[in-house]
């Protein structure tokens, strides 16, 4: 199939979503409403049982309640559904393991979409499945789990972005976009170069504050309300923009200002990195500040703030996980 543009039939698209967190369940609810056949896969059996019995509920910014017919607890079970598309919506700490398990059920025709935070996730999938069958998605909504099947969608700043890494995935990206737009989850198609701009902008925004909250065990508002830590946030943004530009990422005019203004509005919210540290779990630091540091080294740019926060988060992880 390498190099051949795939034609999508008019048949119902069959989509597997790995990860029953806020991002995955919000996406699943919209795709089900749009008419796709969706299988949600999550390793927490109790969660899957509740979702199968009571459906998926979205509240606050988006209000929906949809029934779901297909769920499973293992990736191997996804192989029974002859899926057209797999959406990976788990934390990046699990990405390598998920991709390895997916290779065991790979039909040779299914496409893989990375819909996570972090830089270069799609390259890990592309190494296993080829660029022709790999897509990247940047999600611009967020939420928190209120219970096992209910997502409180805290915001949606449209649009989401989706990109195929080669022309072979163009029709899949269009099909996903059309499904989501039909149920008002506005999504646009980007080219493979443009999607990197969106990935980096979102990653810089996430990297600038989440790590400081995790290190200090403070909420977003607490960090942004203290002048010295607010200066650190600005410093991380500045370092990251410098690296991004060397990597030929197009940072839009006013991005730095918009980041600061956006983060200043943050409430007493704990970002997921802080929650991970509190729960003794591994964080996504290596795909955020760690990746920015890595690209800084590539271009000979010193990134002392990104280097420092990455080291301090690694120390916290080691302390909790041994």
Q: What is the pLDDT of residues 220-260, one digit of tens each?
A: 999 999 999 999 999 999 999 999 999 999 999 999 999 99
State the Cα–Cα distance between residues 170 and 11, nearest whole angstrom: 17
Asked if pLDDT for residue 263 goes beyond 90, the answer is: yes
**Looking at residue 151, what is its pLDDT?**
98
**Looking at residue 322, what is its pLDDT?**
66
**Looking at residue 3, what is its pLDDT?**
43
All structural domains of the chain, each given as residue ranges with its CATH number in brackets, are 14-190 (3.40.50.720), 196-315 (1.10.1040.10)
- Label the pairing between strands 56-60 and 150-156: parallel
Asked if pLDDT for residue 1 goes beyond 80, the answer is: no
Asked if pLDDT for residue 7 goes beyond 70, the answer is: no
Share of the chain above pLDDT 90, in %: 93
State the Cα–Cα distance between residues 186 and 157, nearest whole angstrom: 9
Encode pLDDT of 99-148 as tens digits: 999 999 999 999 999 999 999 999 999 999 999 999 999 999 999 999 99
Helix pair 170-182, 22-33: axis angle to 10 deg: 80
State the Cα–Cα distance between residues 143 and 156, nearest whole angstrom: 9
Contacts of residues 77-82 at CB distance under 8 Å and 24 or more positions apart, as own/partner, are 77/41, 78/16, 78/18, 78/39, 78/41, 78/105, 79/104, 79/105, 79/107, 81/14, 81/16, 81/37, 81/39, 82/14, 82/107
**Looking at residue 292, what is its pLDDT?**
99
CA 266 to chain centre: 20
Encode pLDDT of 177-236 as tens digits: 999 999 999 999 999 999 999 999 999 999 999 999 999 999 999 999 999 999 999 999
State the Cα–Cα distance between residues 53 and 285, nearest whole angstrom: 35
Tokens of 170: 């163009």
State the Cα–Cα distance between residues 18 and 100, nearest whole angstrom: 13
Per-chain mean pLDDT for the chain? 95
Asked if pLDDT for residue 320 goes beyond 80, the answer is: no
Confidence class for position 9, pLDDT limits 50, 70, 90: low
Asked if pLDDT for residue 58 goes beyond 80, the answer is: yes
State the Cα–Cα distance between residues 118 and 285, nearest whole angstrom: 9
**Looking at residue 319, what is its pLDDT?**
86
State the Cα–Cα distance between residues 88 and 110, nearest whole angstrom: 13
Query: Which helix (H) or strand (E) element contains residue 187?
Result: strand 187-189
């Amino acid at each position: 199939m390498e190099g051949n543009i795939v034609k999508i039939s008019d048949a119902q698209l069959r989509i597997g979503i790995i990860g029953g967190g806020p991002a995955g369940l919000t996406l699943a609810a919209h795709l089900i409403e749009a008419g796709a056949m969706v299988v949600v896969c999550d390793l927490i059996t109790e969660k899957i049982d509740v979702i199968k019995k009571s459906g998926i509920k979205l509240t606050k910014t988006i209000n929906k309640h949809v029934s779901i017919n297909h769920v499973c607890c293992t990736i191997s079970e996804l192989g029974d559904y002859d899926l057209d598309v797999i959406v990976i919506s788990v934390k990046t700490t699990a990405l390598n393991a998920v991709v390895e398990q997916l290779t065991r059920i790979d039909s040779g025709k299914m496409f893989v979409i990375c819909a996570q935070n972090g830089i270069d996730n799609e390259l890990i999938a592309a190494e296993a499945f080829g660029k022709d069958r790999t897509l990247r998605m940047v999600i611009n909504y967020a939420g928190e789990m209120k219970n096992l099947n209910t997502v409180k969608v805290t915001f949606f700043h449209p649009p989401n972005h989706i990109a195929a890494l080669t022309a072979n995935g163009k029709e899949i990206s269009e099909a996903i976009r059309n499904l989501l737009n039909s149920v008002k989850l506005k999504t646009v198609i980007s080219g493979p170069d443009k999607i990197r701009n969106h990935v980096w902008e979102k990653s810089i925004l996430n990297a600038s504050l989440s790590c400081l909250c995790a290190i200090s065990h403070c909420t977003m508002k607490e960090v942004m309300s203290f002048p010295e830590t607010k200066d650190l946030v600005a410093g991380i943004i500045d370092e990251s923009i410098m690296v991004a530009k060397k990597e030929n990422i197009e940072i839009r005019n006013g991005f730095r200002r918009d980041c600061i203004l956006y983060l200043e509005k943050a409430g007493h919210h704990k970002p997921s990195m802080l929650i991970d540290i509190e729960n003794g779990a591994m964080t996504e630091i290596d795909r955020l500040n760690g990746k920015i540091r890595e690209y800084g080294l590539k271009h000979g740019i010193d990134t002392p703030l990104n280097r420092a926060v990455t080291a301090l988060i690694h120390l916290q992880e080691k302390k909790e996980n041994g």
